[in-house]
Amino acid sequence: MTNFEIQGLDPEILKAVKDLGFETPMPVQERVIPVMLESDRDIIALAQTGTGKTAAFGLPLISAADASRKEVQGLILCPTRELCIQITDDLNDFSKYLPDIHIVPVYGGASIEKQISAIARGVHFIVATPGRMLDLINRRVVNLGQVRTVVLDEADEMLNMGFIDSLNDILKVVPKERRTLLFSATMPDRVANIAEKYMNSPVEIVVGTKNSGSENVRHLCYTVSSKDRYNALKRIVDYNPSIYGIVFCRTKRETGEIAEKLIRDGYNAEALHGDLSQAQRDYVMQKFRLGNIKLLVATDVAARGLDVSNLTHIINYNLPDDIETYNHRSGRTGRAGKTGVSIAIAGLKDKSKLKQIEKNINRQFEHKDVPTGRTICEKQLFSLIERMEHVDVDNTEIDSYLPAIFKKLEWLDKEDLIRRFVSLEFNRFLTYYKDAEDLKAARPEADERKKSSRKDRRSERANDEQKGSRKAEKGYTRLHINAGKKDGVYPNVIIELINQMEYGNSVRIGKIDLMQKEAFFEVRSDQAKMLLNDLKNVFYRGRKVIIKAV
Ligand code: AMP
């Protein structure tokens, strides 16, 4: 199956899907939609958030709805108010061209009277949190006698949040001849028990590996002593100039403290925790969704159901007590086909927890040293330059001011000008990191490294000398480049420099020797001249590199 057309969905829904820009079904949709359209079997789908599961159940559900019957045909239960609203929004998007289909969200913390009157007007689907749904059932203001499908979305979260009794009570009052769909990121015993009790030989669908972290997410670990935790966070943020992410803390208090410190230190951050009023939480979430806040500092509970698909980073300010929570946190980045980074700021005592997490997500952490002041400054500087290169210049607006500005800056030459403009924005980092010490990870491996580092440096130097005096292979010419490993020059960089010249596959590169501050690479002697000529004006990380024959 390659697209939505051949799945047999209602044409009006296909039109809406097209408007949403969905071109091909995501894996969970490819698996769930046909089972829903072609059979009445129950389905268990193990799928993380962000895998497209709302459309997987939502599209066929709406496609099979009978708008002329004004009765509740489907009930979708989910753990949080935010997810409830999100699912309702999605279902409304899917039924955009089916105006007679009505969907209502019901959740706690909002006026029940309004929800009751919305239901009384006639609805086809109710999207509900379990507590509020049960309240409505107990008040006898909703008739579920015609429900044909029940969806349990994020079943593991609903059970984690203690909704087991409400779920049992709700599932008792919906008709027995219904279809039940259960979506869950994980399958702990509690979820398996629910499935066993309420489902009938379900089709089991696993999207990705069960309990495994998304392929799109890199897992990085910085080990620091607890006194350096906050500074490490700042450096990680500074090292990632375009960061848009969530910093997870363990407690409401820590959340408030970290957010406050970040704001005081000039970061675009805000706290989200249970002590805020619903209106305050909505406000913060809205700002975050719009990208007006770059760092949301949150507890797990507060961030549940917050659906933002383009987060670049998840930062675990502390590792969670429950291993599974790491999986949930990191699943919030790398969504909808994008890549993401999940960062653990770990303490020395977290070693065994890290191992358990690795086992759980089926992936290894990449252990990193906290970025040094110098690397952060470099990263920020180049990000600034890049932003400047790509800035939209509104000529019509700015032109009238330019003559006066040019006149005022006449006394500065080009280099001075650049220096000053860059410093204007860059000084904050330069000043802060000027004498900043490295936050060396004090983990045992780092200690080992420290002991042997002097010895290593000596042998590295000897090694470099040996590389420097090496002779070219037969038929090859040895070229020297004035940048090395310290500058980030590795074989891929050398190959990329040559590829920029678009010779196709014709250039043959021989041996590459990398040293700290310089490198050698060999090219076929008959191509050396052409290369030397073409590579006269190449830049790497904003700096001109010089390539010469040895
Ligand atoms: P969900 O797992 O339902 O929260 O979906 C995650 C994100 O993927 C949402 O932003 C959806 O709008 C988006 N999405 C769902 N299905 C598709 C599709 N077939 N193509 C592109 N994006 C999709």
CA distance 424 to 490: 32
Cα 50 to ligand 1 centroid, rounded to whole Å? 7
Per-range mean pLDDT, top range of 79-88, 131-140, 181-190, 407-416: 131-140
| Average pLDDT of span 528-540 | 86
- For the residues 386-410, what does the mean pLDDT come to? 86
> Which residue, by CA, sits nearest to atom 22 of ligand 1?
22
Angstrom distance (rounded) from CA 228 to CA 223: 10
Q: Please, which residues bridge with residue 103 across strands?
A: 125
DSSP β-bridge partners for residue 272: 298
Complete domains list, the chain, with CATH: 11-206 (3.40.50.300), 212-244+310-443 (3.40.50), 468-549 (3.30.70.330)
Region 268-286: what's the mean pLDDT?
86
Task: For residues 421 and 407, give the distance between their C-alpha atoms in angstroms, rounded to a whole number.
Answer: 17
Candidate of 9, 13, 29, 54 to mutate for ligand 1, largest count of ligand atoms within 8 Å of Cβ:
54
pLDDT of residue 505: 65
Contact in structure between 429 and 377 (CB atoms under 8 Å)? yes
502's tokens: 């678009």
DSSP3 helix / strand / coil % (the chain, rounded to 5): 45, 15, 35
CA of 338 to the centre of ligand 1 (A): 12
Contact between 335 and 267 under an 8 Å Cβ cutoff? The reply is no
Tell me the pLDDT of the chain averaged across its residues: 86
Which of 9, 309, 328 gets mutated to test ligand 1 (max ligand atoms within 8 A of its CB)? 309
- Report how far ligand 1's centroid is from the alpha carbon of 334 (Å): 12
**Which runs of consecutive H residues, i.e. helices, occur in 267-398?**
278-289, 300-303, 323-330, 351-361, 373-390, 395-398
> Which atom in ligand 1 lies closest to the alpha carbon of residue 23?
20
- How confident is residue 362, by pLDDT bands cut at 50, 70 and 90? confident
Q: What percent of the chain has pLDDT over 70?
A: 93
Structure tokens at 162: 């203690």
Name which residue leads in pLDDT, 216 or 17.
17
- What separation in angstroms does the CA of 177 have from each of 79, 488, 537? 24, 64, 74
**Looking only at Cα atoms, what is the longest distance across the chain?**
90
Tokens of 249: 């803390």
Contact yes or no for 494/479 (Cβ under 8 A): no
Residue 387 alpha carbon to ligand 1 centre in Å:
30
Task: Pick the atom of ligand 1 nearest to 22's CA.
Answer: 20
Which residue, chain included where needed, has tokens 């509104």?
A: 394
pTM: 0.50
Question: What does the alpha-carbon distance between residue 152 and residue 543 come to, in Å, rounded to a whole number?
Answer: 56
Report which ligand 1 atom has the smallest distance to the Cα of 51. 2
Provide residues with CB under 6 Å of ligand 1. 22, 25-26, 29, 49-55, 307, 309, 335-336
* Spatial contact of 302 and 259, defined as CB atoms under 8 Å apart: no
pLDDT of residue 543: 80
Distance 291 CA to ligand 1 centre (A): 19
Residue 127 confidence (pLDDT): 97
- Report the percentage of the chain scoring pLDDT > 90: 43
Q: Tell me, letter by letter, the H, E, C secondary structure of 364-412.
A: CCEEECCCCHHHHHHHHHHHHHHHHHHCCCCHHHHHHHHHHHHHHCCCC
**Could you identify the atom of ligand 1 that is nearest to the CA of residue 54?**
3
101 has pLDDT over 80: yes
How far is Cα 48 from Cα 330, in angstroms, rounded to an integer?
11
Per-residue pLDDT, 443: 47
State the pLDDT at residue 444. Answer: 43
Which token pair is 94?
């899917």
Write out the DSSP string of 217-234.
Answer: EEEEEEE--GGGHHHHHH
Which residue is closest in CA terms to ligand 1's atom 15?
52
| CA dihedral of 542, 516, 499, 547, whole degrees rounded to 10 | 80
Cα(214) to centroid of ligand 1, in Å?
A: 15
For atom 14 of ligand 1, the residue with the nearest CA is 52
Q: According to the model, what pLDDT value does residue 460 have?
A: 67
**Nearest-CA residue for atom 1 of ligand 1:** 52
Q: Distance, CA 213 to ligand 1 centroid (Å)? A: 18
Residue 343 confidence (pLDDT): 95
Residue recorded with tokens 């193990």: 46
Cα–Cα separations (whole angstroms), residue 100 to 8, 104, 123, 439 = 20, 13, 9, 61
pLDDT greater than 70 at residue 208: no
Intra-chain end-to-end CA distance of the chain, in Å: 58
Q: Which residue, chain included where needed, has tokens 């007007």? A: 121
What would the mean pLDDT of 382-394 be, rounded to a whole number?
Answer: 83
Give me 269's structure tokens. Answer: 């951050």
The residue with greater pLDDT, 515 or 271, is: 271
Query: Is residue 402 pLDDT above 80, yes or no?
Result: yes
Would the pLDDT of 437 be above 60? yes
* Residue nearest atom 21 in ligand 1 by C-alpha distance: 22
> Reading across the β-sheet that carries 43-46, which strands appear in turn?
103-106, 125-128, 74-77, 149-152, 179-184, 43-46, 203-206
Kindly report the protein residue whose alpha carbon is nearest to atom 20 of ligand 1.
22
Q: How confident is the model at residue 336 (pLDDT cuts 50, 70, 90)?
A: low
For tokens 């495994």, the residue is 212
Condensed to tens digits (0 to 9), the pLDDT of residues 132-184 reads: 999 999 999 999 999 999 999 999 889 988 899 999 999 999 999 999 999 99
Q: Give the pLDDT of residue 489.
A: 83
Residue 390 has pLDDT above 50, yes or no: yes
60 CA to centre of ligand 1 in angstroms: 15
* 1, 17, 22, 83: residue to mutate for ligand 1 pocket, most atoms within 8 A of CB: 22
- Which pLDDT score, from 0 to 100, does residue 346 have? 93
Residue nearest to atom 19 of ligand 1 (CA): 25
Residue 313 clears pLDDT 90, i.e. is over it? yes
Nearest ligand 1 atom to the CA of 4 is 19
For 212-270, write each residue's pLDDT tens digit. 446 678 999 999 988 899 999 999 999 998 899 999 998 889 999 999 999 998 899 99
| Residue 459: band (very low, low, confident or very high) from pLDDT cuts 50, 70, 90 | low
How far does the centroid of ligand 1 lie from the alpha carbon of residue 153, in Å? 15
Whether the pLDDT of residue 442 is over 60: the answer is no
Atom number, ligand 1, closest to the C-alpha of residue 49: 2
CA distance 284 to 276: 10
pLDDT at 433 over 70: yes
Mean pLDDT of 439-446: 54
Q: What is residue 256's three-state secondary structure?
A: helix
Q: 3-state SS of 1-26? A: CCCCHHHCCCHHHHHHHHHCCCCCCC
Distance CA 324, CA 161 (A): 14
Ligand 1: residue of 17, 20, 30 to mutate (most ligand atoms within 8 A of CB) is 20
- How far CA 58 is from CA of 64, 97, 148, 312, in Å, comes to 10, 14, 14, 27
The CA distance from 307 to 289, in Å, is 8
pLDDT-based confidence at residue 452 (cuts at 50, 70, 90): low
Ligand 1 mean position, distance from CA 78 (Å): 17
Cα of 383 to ligand 1 centre, how many Å? 30
The conformational region for residue 98 under phi > 0 = left, psi -120 to 50 = alpha, else beta, is beta
